[in-house]
Chain A
Amino acid sequence: MSQQPVQEKLTKAQPGDQPRIVNDFSMVVATVNGSGSQTSNMALIRALFRMGVPVSGKSLFPSNIQGLPTWFTIRASSLGYTARREKVEIVVAMNPATFLEDLQTIVPGGVCFHPDNFPAPRNRDDVVYYPMPVQSLVKEIDPPKELREYISNMAYVGIVASVLGIELEEIRKALFTHFRGKERAVESNMNMISRAYAWAEANLTKRDPYIVQRDHQTEGMILVDGNTAGALGSIYGGVSFSAWYPITPASSLPESLTEYLPKLRKEKDTGKATYAVVQAEDEIAAAGMAVGAGWMGARSMTATSGPGLSLMAEYVGLAFFVEVPVVIWDVQRMGPGTGLPTRTSQGDVMFVRYLGHGDTKHILLFPATPAECFEFGWRAFDLAERLQTPVFVMSDLDLGMNTWMSEAFEYPEEPMDRGKVLDADDLAQIGVFGRYRDVEGDGIAYRTLPGNPHPLATWFARGTGHNENALYSERAEDWASNMERLWRKLDTARDFVPRPVLFRHSGAHIGLIGYGSTDPAIQEARDRLSAAGVPTNYLRLRSIPFTLDVRAFIEEHDEVYVIEMNTDGQMRQLLQLEVPEHAAKLRSLSYNTGLPLSARWIVANVRPGKEG
């Protein structure tokens, strides 16, 4: 990530022209939910990406199927920034209901594209308007009635492309990607886009400074959402069983499994499935199925969000105690309660860390990019089987559902770690087996899988108190020593979980700690802070339990800001428990509105030397 201070990239064009702003804007497309604008927006953003311009796409959508307003923001940034911005330079106003409201969000000198039949606005003389003859363009094509609204959305793609300078050929290729090579779908959309583009070329004079130019900053990158990435990572991690229940914003992860598994994991000769995916009747059952399969020896997973986790708590706690490997994705949304189902949050951290009654602690991974969703997708299985316990991958709505520019997916560089499993031959050799015996002192006992024919292999999995041989026991010593071993195992986990990523800046005395989807905002904020004379070091957490790097980082700094998206500073609290002697150093920067974090908010709230 660039260390340069942020500045509007202004280049003078021809003498007498107004300054041009190249590849730097946020464009909001305001539409009505269910009107099919996703294709249009993806065409625009992917075309920009294909032109080498760093981009991100964030959809702000209601919990509704059809009819309520929705906004899609495309940010282009020549400096490579992809966080949400609070300023909007360009609005494509396709929703009459929010038109006046949307106008108010534009910066002075900004741009508004709108259908020419919208009422004339009065109160923004400082905005460049481009009325679009959407109705007459659509009329020319005369699409079937049910497609009219969808095709209208293609009109703005053509006009915006013309005014900003987005190449038509790249839009075509973007659609090709979007429709997975279906030529007819591409052509029918391109028909409208090309007409609209031609109309704009012939009839509009450019009066705004925002332009797009080819760049080379997206080579080797991909444009994808975290849920798709997580599903693919799971597949390359060898997922063989998944049970799930639909919930926003997690559903697209298991749905991606269902999409990709048949392509990637059918047995060659027979066409039969090397996996099973079950849509359960609820999250209670989804968790139960995943635990059953994990116990049997499958690479087993589920994906859900906060309300689903509440239901899963029961089986997750059992899996922790029985020591069953299972991977659980939490694509977080805003809670408590039903909360804001379509808004992002990092509010489940504390809940998930301790999910279950009694003494329970879990392993949490925090991916920050789709590439990392992919990596943790496969790595989580290795960890779960190595540590014989549930492993949570903590994503969120922003990372999971929005469109991210990411490093390409990297093929797993290590073979699978199936953990400590004894087969019949092993048992014949060893001659002794106790399911919960800590043979190596790392707290991880050996397990056998059902079906193992050796007479020593059998054990009875139970949520009740058990001794080393998995036999029912109410003995005080058995209970205590088993819990001690479990805690020893959690300590061992520190050696296996992904270590944090550290970004340093010379002369920095201030530390920032963040995790997950806030990374782009923190990176951008660091550049701005440094330009303002406040250099910072940044530690991006990638797991709980914390590795020793975390303690060292906190010790090293005068002040450490823990940046997160929940109200109570949950990660900060967990860090305070980890380093109680430095608790006062840890300041909470928590932002919890449902919107992704912005760099501006961080910059405004990092105030060294002041009480946090």
Chain B
Amino acid sequence: MATTTGTALPRSANVNLVGLERTDYKGLPSTLCQGCGHNSISSQIIAACYEMSVAPERLVKFSGIGCSSKSPAYFLSRSFGFNGLHGRMPSLATGALLANRSMKGIGVSGDGDTASIGIGQFIHLLRRNVPLVYIVENNGVYGLTKGQFSATADKGAMLKKGEANPFHPVDICFEALAANCGFVARSFAGDPRQVKELIKAALSFEGTAVLDIISPCVTFNNRDESTKSYAWGKQHEDPIHDMTVIPMREEIEIELEPGEATTVEMHDGSRVVLKKLERQYDPTDRMAAVTLLEQARINNELLTGLLYLNSNQPSLVDIGNLVLTPLSQLAEDVLRPAPATLELINSEFR
């Protein structure tokens, strides 16, 4: 019997390690549709940040444009955020997170924002391994502009007017794997516990963590045959493992039989416990992830969970060899070289 534990800290039941209650992580009331998958994801972001004892002022929110991108207003009001441009959130986050390496970044995007207009920036974000939790609220449709196909729409999906989509969908997890992303996950807004645990794991990962979360659009793309609908998700979801994240410094204990689960330690000391379900799956095997996705596509399944994890890649902050003090907080005497250096430079141009 293996036991996984953390250090216990005394505290009241409703308060986390930074002294905040769950409601301290709330945002403004959502203006999205009733039943929108995005609202459910916002709730899980709130829960995950609470459970991970994230200090709100140490977290910064980013988004692009679209329904998904409105949602950062609906969680963590006590965190700064920047609602940027359509498909251009990755660059915004790249600059901001390099400018202040002490901030934890969480970006919310949609399938149009990521896979259509933003596919270029998305790939380059992954290529650079910017430390950012990148959530795609994937519903296969443009909501704010009233129901056009996005790049993840099913082939053969029908518009209300009866027009069928002739193109293959972009698979965001496939793209992430191809771009060598070190944290690739798929989930379903109808599986809130898994969404929450994946967000917690992503928050403890240093590098880009991609979460492609099927998040049904109840207004434009929730017909039962749509792979982005609640009904289809509920019928076809097949978690590849049961996941629990034990935050750093937490007292949770899980008792496991040998061989029943694998535990992975994350960058911040948190541990991800992956409990085996029906299949044997090694999330550190990139080829296995590719195979799994392809099988899921062929078998018409919604395989969810942490598809791929590689914690050994340097993040952009590491690659930049940045000073520990955030660049945005450097003092003038650090930023402006001394006068003598300029004399030397002038002499070099004579």
Least distance between A609 CB and chain B CB atoms (Å): 45
* Nearest B-chain residue to A261, judged by Cβ: B337
Tell yes or no: B187 within 8 A of A by CB. Answer: no
In the complex, the chain A residue whose C-beta lies closest to that of B88 is A288
How far apart are A263's CB and chain B's nearest CB, in angstroms? 8
Q: Given A278-B98, A451-B103, A458-B80, does the pair A297, B121 have CB atoms closer than 8 Å? A: no
Choose among A240, A292, A451, A455 the residue that contacts B82 (Cβ–Cβ < 8 A).
A292
A285 touches B91 (CB 8 A): yes
Is residue A464 within 8 Å, beta carbon to beta carbon, of the partner chain? yes
* Known contacts A238-B335, A288-B95, A461-B82, A409 near B100 by CB under 8 Å: no
Minimum CB–CB distance for B239 against chain A, Å: 34
Indicate which residue in B58, B73, B79, B94 contacts A289 across the interface (CB closer than 8 Å): B94
A-chain residues with CB within 8 Å of residue B298 when the two chains form the complex: none
Q: Does A241 contact B98, Cβ atoms closer than 8 Å?
A: yes
Of B85, B120, B335, the residue contacting A240 (CB under 8 A) is B335
B330 within 8 A of A: yes
Do B88 and A284 touch across chains, with their CB atoms under 8 A apart? yes
Q: Which residues of B contact A315 (CB under 8 A)?
A: 85, 88, 91-92
Chain A residues whose C-beta falls within 8 Å of the C-beta of B336 in the assembled complex: 236-238, 378, 412, 416
- B8 interface contact, C-beta 8 A: no
Chain A proximity of B43: nearest CB distance (Å): 19
B328 at interface (Cβ–Cβ under 8 A)?
A: yes
**Cβ-defined contact, A411 with B84, below 8 A:** no
Binds A, one of B166-174, B178-186, B270-278, B318-326: B318-326
Residues of the A chain whose Cβ atoms lie less than 8 Å from the Cβ of B57: 451-453, 457-458
Contact with A along B184-216 (1 / 0, CB 8 A): 000000000000000000000000000000000
**Interface hub of A177, A289, A322 (most chain B Cβ within 10 A):** A289
Q: A533 in the interface, Cβ–Cβ < 8 Å?
A: no
B103 and A464 form a contact (CB under 8 A): no
Would A288 and B92 count as touching, CB distance under 8 A?
yes
A225 nearest CB neighbor, chain B only: B349
B244 lies within 8 A of chain A by Cβ:
no
Please tell me if the beta carbons of A293 and B83 are within 8 angstroms of each other in the complex: no
Is A280 touching B85 in the complex (CB atoms < 8 A)? no
Interface residue? A172 (CB, 8 A): no
Most buried by A among B60, B324, B345: B345
Evaluate contact between B92 and A236: CB separation under 8 angstroms: no
Asked if A292 and B80 make an inter-chain contact with CB atoms under 8 angstroms apart, the answer reads no
Whether B7 sits at the interface, judged by CB under 8 Å, is: no
Stretch at the interface among A96-104, A269-277, A555-563: A269-277
* Size of B's binding interface in residues, CB under 8 A: 58
Whether B103 pairs with A274 at a CB distance below 8 angstroms is no
Whether A224 contacts B327 by the Cβ 8 Å rule is no
> Do B329 and A278 touch (CB < 8 A)?
no
Residue A534 lies at the interface, judged by CB distance under 8 Å to chain B: no
- Whole-angstrom distance between the Cβ of B68 and the nearest chain A Cβ: 15
> For A463, what are the chain B residues with a Cβ–Cβ distance below 8 Å?
83-85
B10: chain A residues at CB < 8 Å are none
Known contacts A315-B88, A451-B103; decide if A177 and B327 are in contact (CB<8 Å): no
A351 on interface, CB distance cutoff 8 Å: no
In whole angstroms, what is the CA distance A296 to B337 when docked?
22
Q: Given contacts A292-B92, A296-B328, are A409 and B346 in contact (CB under 8 A)?
A: yes
Are B96 and A295 in contact, with the CB atoms below 8 A?
A: yes
Quick check: is B162 within 8 A (CB to CB) of the other chain?
no
Q: A454: nearest residue on chain B (CB-CB)?
A: B57
Q: Is the CB of A232 within 8 A of B345?
A: yes
Contacts of A238 in B (CB 8 A): 330, 332, 335-336
Cβ-defined contact, A240 with B341, below 8 A: no
What's the Cα separation between A299 and B100 when bound, in Å? 12
CB-CB under 8 A for A295 and B82, given A274-B323, A415-B332? yes
Residues of A near B96 (CB, < 8 A) are 292-293, 295-296, 450
Contact indicator A297/B329 (Cβ below 8 Å): yes
**In the complex, per-residue mask of B90-106: 1 if CB is within 8 Å of any chain A CB, else 0:** 11111111111011000
Most buried by A among B83, B95, B334: B95
B146 smallest CB distance to A (angstroms): 18
A558 → B minimal CB distance (Å): 42
CB distance from A301 to the nearest CB of B (A): 11
- For the complex, is B72 an interface residue (Cβ under 8 Å from A)? yes
**Is B9's beta carbon under 8 Å from chain A?**
no
**A232: B residues at CB distance < 8 A:** 345
Is residue B124 contacting chain A, with contact meaning CB distance below 8 A?
Answer: yes
* Complex partner residue of B328 from A271, A297, A458, A472, CB under 8 angstroms: A297
The answer to whether A240 and B328 have CB atoms under 8 Å apart is yes
A267 to B324: give the CA distance in the assembly, Å. Answer: 10
Say yes or no: A272 contacts B321, CB within 8 Å: yes
B99 near A285 with CB under 8 A, answer no
Residues from chain A with a CB closer than 8 A to the CB of B345 are: 232, 260, 409
A281 contacts chain B at the CB level, 8 A cutoff: yes
For residue A479, CB closer than 8 A to chain B, the reply is no
Structural contact, B342 and A411, CB atoms closer than 8 A: yes
A193: min CB distance to chain B, Å: 20
Specify which chain B residues have a CB less than 8 angstroms from the CB of A243 in the assembled complex: 91, 94-95
Contacts of B22 in A (CB 8 A): none
Could you tell me if A236 and B342 are in contact, using CB atoms closer than 8 angstroms? yes
Q: How far is the CA of A457 from the CA of B60 in the complex (A)?
A: 13
The reply on B348 being an interface residue by CB < 8 A is yes
- Taking CB atoms and an 8 Å cut-off, the chain A residues in 453-482 that contact chain B are 453, 455, 457-464, 472
A-B contact list, 26 entries, CB within 8 Å = A222-B349, A240-B335, A241-B327, A271-B321, A273-B322, A276-B320, A278-B98, A282-B120, A285-B88, A285-B94, A285-B124, A288-B91, A289-B94, A289-B98, A291-B84, A292-B95, A292-B97, A293-B95, A293-B99, A296-B95, A298-B327, A300-B95, A408-B349, A452-B57, A460-B82, A461-B80
Q: A272-B323, A296-B326 are in contact. List 8 more A-B contacts (CB 8 A).
A: A241-B95, A288-B90, A291-B95, A292-B84, A453-B57, A460-B61, A460-B83, A463-B84
Q: Top 8 nearest A-B pairs by Cβ distance?
A: A288-B91, A238-B335, A292-B95, A297-B328, A289-B95, A292-B96, A222-B349, A298-B99
| Interfacial residues, chain B to chain A (CB-CB below 8 A) | 55-58, 60-61, 72-73, 77-85, 88, 90-100, 102-103, 120-121, 124, 128, 320-324, 326-330, 332, 334-337, 339, 341-342, 345-346, 348-350
